[in-house]
Amino acid sequence: MTGAKNYTRLFDSRPRGVTAGPSGEKVYVATDNSLFAIHASNGTTIWEKSYSSGGFSVGLSQDGDTVYIGLEDNTVSAVNVTTQNEIWRSQDLGFRVEALSSNKQTLFAGAGNSLYGLDPDNGDYLWGETNYGNSIEVIEPRNDAYIGSIAGDLKRVNSTGGVEWHDTYSDGVSGIGVSSDNSSLIVSTQGVWNKTITTPMAA
């Protein structure tokens, strides 16, 4: 592709969670001991915030003003992207948070086989449900979360934790993406060929 640039960015510890800012100019990376904001164009550091408990997953508020990091101590930390100040820290959710995604009403946090709803403004616990998965994507404009599990379940969950739609894949769900026009889910499965499936969005 004409004009495309590639680079390698090395960190002092393992990068384990990553998400892009709304403009695509910044990327947020959770490592074993820090949260980084880096330039998407060249990988250089904009800022770094250290944590005594390692980071595992990253999510972003819909307005792009807050980045959420799931930590090894089973909590979620919310950080202002401008000041790098911690806004709030959630309660211990009982397992490290492996997936984070948010809409305006709910921060969805996948921890173990459970899904938790947190208030994105203050981190208050809203609800919790078991037997979900750990791959989460919030889809505009519906603002529902799609949850995939290695057991093969794919569910659409609303902001109060209710399941509105459910499908299954015999070889498990390892990742979820969204088409550029938000009309379809891209479901990565754990079969031999790790095939990618385009699933029409449930109405």
**What is the predicted pLDDT for the residue at 1?**
45
Does any domain span residue 180? Answer: yes
Q: Rounded to an integer, what distance in angstroms lies between the CA atom of residue 11 and that of residue 107?
A: 28
Total number of domains in the chain = 1
Percent above pLDDT 70 for the chain = 89
Does any domain span residue 56? Answer: yes
Structure tokens at 196: 């990618």
Does any domain span residue 2? Answer: no
Residue matched to tokens 């969950």: 157
Does any domain span residue 80? Answer: yes
Global pTM reads 0.83
Does any domain span residue 5? Answer: no
Does any domain span residue 6? Answer: no
Does any domain span residue 100? Answer: yes
Mean pLDDT, residues 81-93: 96
Residues in the chain: 203
For residue 8, which phi and psi values (nearest 5 degrees)? -115, 125
CATH number at residue 58: 2.130.10.10
Q: Are 49 and 79 in contact (CB under 8 A)?
A: yes
Containing domain of residue 87, as a range? 15-200
pLDDT digits (tens, 9 = 90+) for 41-66: 999 999 999 998 888 899 999 899 99
| Cα distance between the two ends of the chain | 36
Question: Which of the four pLDDT bands, split at 50, 70 and 90, describes residue 133?
Answer: low
